[in-house]
Amino acid sequence: MERVDAYPTHDYQGFKLRPGKPFPFGATFVPGGVNFSIYSSHATSCTLVLFNKGEPQPKVEIPFPDEFRIGDVFAMIVFDLSYENIEYGYRMTGPFDTQQGHRFDSSKILLDPYAKAISGRDVWGTPPNWDDIFLHRSLLVFDDFDWADDRPLEIPMEDLVIYEMHVRSFTRHPSSGVKFPGTFAGIRQKLPYLKELGVNCVELMPIYEFDEFENSRLSPETGETLMNYWGYSTVGFFAPKSGLAATGKLGMQVDELKALVKELHRNGIEVFLDVVFNHTAEGNENGPYISFKGIDNKTYYMLTPEGYYFNFSGTGNTLNCNNPVVRNIVLDCLRYWASEYHIDGFRFDLASILGRDPLGYPLSNPPLLESLAFDPILAKCKLIAEAWDAGGLYQVGSFPAYGRWAEWNGKFRDGLRRFLKGEPGVVGDIAQRLQGSPDLYASRGPTASINFITCHDGFTLYDMVTYNDKHNEANGESNRDGANDNNSWNCGWEGPSTDSGVNSMRMRQMKNAAAMLLVSQGVPMILMGDEIARTQNGNNNTYCQDNSLNWLDWNLMDSHSHLFRFYQNCIKFRLAHPVFRNRWHLSNQDRVGSGYADISWHGTQAGNPDWSGSSRLLAFMLDGKHARGGMVEDDDIYVAMNMHWDSHWFELPGLPEGKNWHVFANTGANSPEDVWETGHEPRLDDQTGILLGDRSVVILVGK
């Protein structure tokens, strides 16, 4: 049966129209045409602006007739549009009264906040025509990808090993050897590498459309163009960044990203997105009009009583996330990515901002965070907060979680780094971190803790053992940017060294870090390239560097194959042993009658850990009969960590009759005896004790 609404009722300059449907927002295909729907609480009128692709001037501007508005929503169906050849935007009319928070300017053409693809930065780094009257243009997109039998993987949180990566950085370096460097397709070509490493989740740094030219400038040091490289500044929340797709120039970025997600899923790898809802690319009162500013400034941004922009994000503006309208667009956005792109989880940049009220005060029960936690479409998505913001709110351990939210555990990073560099007095703290931080997440369990030692912010692992101080001169801010407090140690020489002693200690320290990360309860996250000693030459804030400071040099795979092998085996070992992956906190007691506590603590003497303020060593044993709260039986595990500059003899705890200690890893030994394949660990000759070299970690398996 043919539908009545497949026929137009209105005509405007030869364009056939019909009153549209307010729902869904954005541009949607309907029989015979396209439904355009957009809302503004304060606009008095709205005009749809249509362009033929790439043309400097609009082909038509169609004002929404009064009868096409319902509530605050303007909705219109336009028939017979050539969908591949159309770019669209809106003009909004309303008050310009900055004291009241209004900045309407009908001379600006505005991007649809719900645009599912955006043109204007089609190919990464191609300079735009700055005189263009409409720089970021909304495109029409078919949501008809053929997923076959794919859906989000729903790997239990406790079983994840996350790999944080930047799409462009992963394959842009010439050494990557991929056909389309720096793209979604490039990642697909390097999928065998990810599988070999053994991670089961990739967390992509921002892939929502952003403008790499935002605040671009020449480096006073190198003369290179500094860019908005990382992309923590969103232009469009529903659109994948065209410049990260090899097919972006054809407008096929949507399909390319979906094809990547599908392929990763087929290989058992989940996909998380790093999402930036705390601010947008529109800056403050001096920034450009892209979208929200001209559509409904007062609704979308947190404004001071005088109408200026609050700056809790450190980037000029702050999205007004607990306004009901803004809350809905965030929810719509995440639902869209979860359902249309099969995204498995989200990491929220500066998430504490999402818990502030419209005047910036922290809410005790933030409606946005609650909505996300209980949403049916997001029900199986992992939600991870960067639980702080640039306005001084630090909520690690206290982020409003609703039983759902996990956190980047900044205290894990800081504690492990201090222990690693040999600071005394941190073993008590370390004991908490290794257990999944029960001091922070008592009721939430270890899966609330995303454990990491390095992430995109700060030093890479190699730089953490090579530099005491940041070296950010290349960013052109006289080394003022980036964190000063890195808890790093250069092993005796600042920067690269030819001293074999220094280099072997650095290698050992990297392995120590990997080992401790991967035996901790909670969810480990590895920074891209740490497994092959990627360096940023001491730069701990490479947000603007489109060059080898960020690009992964695949030649490191040859020079650091031992380190790669160490990571690879540690990941396999973790995934083979459920005793590392408890959903609930360990009790430090024997709850299954095995004769052993689920976790027991040791020092140079078994059962006698040194908690004193000068201690730099600690050991623990995980009882295999307590794995997964006693639901499954695993081997026993013993981990000894000596962060002291002298070697120490560690007496081993006794095993049940018939079991023996076997060596899985010893970072003090030279490769290949530093680590063994799971299941092929050699039996330890002396079952009563083991000598740990200076600054080294030993992992034994009792079976």
What is the rounded CA–CA span in Å between residue 679 and residue 567?
A: 16
Query: Among 143, 158, 76, which residue's Cα sits nearest to residue 335?
Result: 143
- Reduced to 3 states (helix: H, G, I; strand: E, B; else coil), residue 416 is helix
Closest CA to 582 of 618, 625, 626, 619: 626
356: β partners = 362
- Give 141 or 519: the residue with its C-beta nearer to other proteins: 141
Nearer to other proteins, 84 or 558 (CB): 84
The distance of closest approach from Cβ of residue 246 to other proteins in the complex, given in angstroms and rounded to an integer, is: 6
Q: Shortest Cβ distance from residue 263 to other proteins (Å)? A: 8
Shorter beta-carbon distance to other proteins: residue 261 or 303: 261
Encode 564-576: b = buried (16+ Cβ within 10 Å), e = exposed: bbbbbbbbbbbbe
CB of 547 to other proteins, least distance (A): 25
Query: Which pair of tokens denotes residue 80?
Result: 């017979």
Q: Which residues contact 240 (CB under 8 A, 6 or more apart)?
A: 117, 184, 207, 208, 209, 253, 254, 256, 257
Q: How far is CA 349 from CA 325, 667, 678, in A?
A: 20, 34, 36
CB 368 within 8 A of CB 322: yes
Tell me the DSSP string of 446-489.
GGGEEEES--SSS--HHHHTT-SS---GGGTSTT-SS-S-----
What are the structure tokens assigned to 464, written together?
A: 């953490």
Q: Which of 618, 472, 487 is nearest to 545 (CA)?
A: 472
Q: Residues near 250 by Cβ (< 8 Å), separated by ≥ 6?
A: none
**Closest distance between other proteins and the C-beta of residue 185, in Å?**
4
Least distance from other proteins to the Cβ atom of residue 262, Å: 6
User: Cβ closer to other proteins: 26 or 294?
Assistant: 26
Closest approach, Cβ 78 to other proteins, in A, equals 16
Q: Given phi > 0 = left and psi -120 to 50 = alpha, else beta, which region is 174?
A: alpha
> Nearest distance from residue 153's CB to other proteins, in Å?
17
In 110-179, which residue ranges form alpha helices assigned H by DSSP? 167-171
Query: In whole angstroms, how far apart are CA 481 and each of 405, 471, 486, 527, 544?
Result: 30, 10, 13, 21, 11
Cis peptide before 672 (omega within 30 of 0): yes
| Beta carbon nearer to other proteins, 261 or 516 | 261
Residues forming contacts to other proteins in the complex (CB under 8 A) are 82-85, 142, 144-146, 179-180, 183-185, 188, 245-247, 250-252, 255-256, 258-259, 262-263
| Pairwise CA distance, residues 371 & 330, whole Å | 10
Q: Tell me how far, at minimum, the Cβ of 49 lies from other proteins, in Å.
A: 20
Shorter beta-carbon distance to other proteins: residue 140 or 474: 140
Give the CA distances from residue 54 to residues 123, 136, 245, 289, 515, in Å, rounded to whole numbers and listed in that order: 14, 11, 19, 20, 53
Report the SS3 class of residue 680. coil
Nearest-approach distance from CB 56 to other proteins, in angstroms: 21
Q: Distance (Å, rounded) from C-alpha 131 to C-alpha 140?
A: 24
CB 117 within 8 A of CB 142: no
Cβ-based nearer residue to other proteins, 251 or 578? 251
Asked if 235 and 118 count as a contact pair (C-beta separation under 8 A), the reply is: yes
Complex with other proteins: residue 247 or 666, whichever CB lies closer: 247
d(CA 271, CA 344): 5
Residue 252 CB, nearest approach to other proteins (Å):
5
Please choose, from the candidates 49, 18, 22, the residue with its C-alpha nearest in 3D space to the C-alpha of residue 37: 22
Nearer to other proteins, 59 or 591 (CB): 59
User: In angstroms, rounded to a whole number, what is the distance separating the alpha carbons of residues 316 and 311?
Assistant: 5
Active site residues: 349, 386
- Of 142 and 649, nearer to other proteins (C-beta) is 142
3-class DSSP state of 631? coil
Q: Which is nearer to other proteins, 141 or 665 (CB)?
A: 141
Least gap, CB of 255 to other proteins (angstroms): 4
Smallest gap from Cβ 247 to other proteins, in A, equals 5
Are 140 and 80 in contact by the 8 Å Cβ rule? The answer is no
Minimum distance from CB of 168 to other proteins (Å)? 16
Could you tell me the CA-to-CA distances from 334 to 346, 403, 638 in Å, in that order? 8, 19, 42
Distance, in Å, from the CA atom of 606 to the CA atom of 698, rounded to the nearest integer, reads 15
- The distance from CA 80 to its chain's CA centroid, rounded to whole angstroms, is 41
3-state secondary structure of 371: helix
Task: Collect all residues with Cβ–Cβ distance below 8 Å to 553 and sequence separation of at least 6.
Answer: 173, 175, 534
Select 72 or 150, whichever has its Cβ closest to other proteins. Answer: 150
What DSSP element (H or E) covers 689? strand 689-692
Nearer to other proteins, 142 or 394 (CB): 142
H/E element, 370: helix 367-374
